């Protein structure tokens, strides 16, 4: 892979931040620059108890991709979704359940018109994913009282449609000019069993990537392909959701789960040939970008790194997990996958020597210094 250059461990995150400035911003930038933004921030659109935010926009990503979050209560009424089924001919749209439950229906337009493919539906819960490539019919419905949906749209800039639609001057008969093509003959199926309708596995077996962008598909949390890489002395588990094969090399998306970086390990400096964003899901991620202070991300925070910008990243807590979005199909994820090996596990091994010793009041490691045996709980009057 030639799209990622590892500059080596000689440039640590400390070296990157000499004479640096803050990476944090309060709102989504209007042009491409390195930045970090807190959960719940970003260009807002909404009102009352339903809000969309765009922490990465077409402007801030140079047209590479948009990341949007939608938070609010669901449509709890029985029946089909209120949103009409539609197609985007130019826009690839992905759905990731960050919280709550979201039901997504999808089918390739060509297969629907010819009757050669099945309509699929899945009820997404936290960590589940649905991909709708260009020319995929889709609609969705938020089902829980408190749900958050994270969407990735490629290329970036589709958010302009949402802002236009919110204005009283919006012309609903001109949807096609916004790459929205209603498909009113599509009837969402109502026969889902165990959160699944249509062919393919869900939580009942491995979920595979299709290897093309011909049709929509779904990946249940931790049931997709996984790869483990320990090249730098700590583990990274890469779980791709979209690769260059599924996006015609437009973008890549997935998750990385990281081992805690120990004091004797170094985090090599990377330089990626595409714009890239990380969104924290669990744990604590440290990111250093050349010319900026190192930032510490927690759940929901996002960092954006422009292409060809040196940066480092490492985990500050065990089992740190983040979503990555890359503005091309041959980015950091592809390099990590190439340097790793397939695994069936969503967790990495931890040796007893590396396990964090117990030190909480009332808990003893049995005098073994954290090396072997279960910790002992000592309660007056009881013996375990």
- Active-site positions read 86, 88, 93, 138
CA distance 234 to 211: 29
Residue 141's beta-bridge partner residues?
A: 103
Could you say which DSSP state residue 140 is in? E
Radius of gyration of the chain (CA): 22
Alpha helix segments (H runs only) across the chain: 13-16, 109-114, 159-165, 244-247, 332-338
Its sign, for the CA torsion 375, 380, 383, 384, is negative
* 172 phi/psi in degrees, rounded to 5: -70, -15
Q: Pairing mode, if any, of strands 285-289 and 295-297? A: antiparallel
CA distance 150 to 142: 12
CB 276 within 8 A of CB 304: yes
CA distance 359 to 86: 56
CA distance 107 to 142: 19
CB 255 within 8 A of CB 322: yes
CA atoms within a 13 Å half-sphere pointing along the CA-CB vector of 68:
26
Question: Which three-class secondary structure state does DSSP give residue 158?
Answer: coil
CA distance 137 to 147: 23
């Amino acid at each position: 892979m030639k799209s990622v250059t590892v500059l080596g461990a000689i440039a640590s995150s400390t070296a990157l931040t000499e004479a640096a400035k803050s990476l944090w911003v309060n709102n989504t930038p209007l042009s491409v620059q390195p930045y970090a933004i807190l959960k719940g921030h970003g260009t807002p659109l909404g009102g009352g108890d339903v809000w969309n935010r765009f922490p990465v926009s077409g402007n801030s990503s140079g047209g590479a991709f948009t990341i949007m979050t939608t938070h609010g209560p669901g449509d709890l009424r029985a029946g089909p979704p209120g949103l009409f089924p539609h197609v985007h001919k130019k826009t690839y749209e992905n759905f990731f359940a960050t919280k709550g439950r979201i039901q997504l229906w999808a089918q390739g337009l060509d297969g629907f018109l010819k009757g050669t493919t099945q309509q699929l539906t899945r009820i997404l819960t936290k960590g589940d994913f649905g991909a709708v490539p260009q020319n995929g019919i889709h609609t969705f419905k938020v089902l829980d009282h408190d749900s958050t949906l994270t969407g990735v749209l490629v290329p970036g800039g589709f958010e302009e449609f949402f802002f236009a639609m919110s204005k009283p001057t919006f012309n609903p008969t001109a949807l096609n000019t916004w790459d929205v093509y209603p498909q009113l003959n599509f009837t969402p199926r109502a026969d889902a069993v165990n959160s699944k309708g249509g062919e393919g596995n869900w939580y009942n077996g491995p979920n595979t990537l299709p290897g093309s962008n011909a049709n929509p598909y779904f990946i249940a949390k931790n049931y997709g392909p996984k790869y483990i890489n320990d090249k730098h002395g700590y583990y990274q588990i890469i779980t791709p959701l979209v690769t260059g094969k599924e996006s015609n090399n437009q973008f890549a998306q997935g998750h990385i789960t990281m081992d805690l970086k120990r004091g004797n390990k170094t985090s090599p400096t990377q330089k990626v040939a595409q714009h890239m964003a990380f969104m924290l899901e669990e744990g604590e991620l440290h990111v250093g970008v050349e010319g900026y202070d190192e930032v510490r991300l927690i759940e929901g925070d996002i960092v954006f790194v422009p292409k060809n910008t040196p940066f480092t990243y490492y985990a500050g807590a065990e089992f740190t997990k983040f979503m990555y979005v890359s503005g091309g199909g041959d980015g950091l994820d592809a390099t990590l996958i190439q340097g790793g090996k397939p695994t069936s596990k969503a967790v990495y091994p931890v040796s007893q020597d590396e396990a964090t010793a117990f030190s909480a009041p009332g808990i003893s490691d049995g005098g073994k210094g954290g090396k072997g045996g279960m910790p002992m709980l000592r309660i007056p009057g009881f013996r375990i």
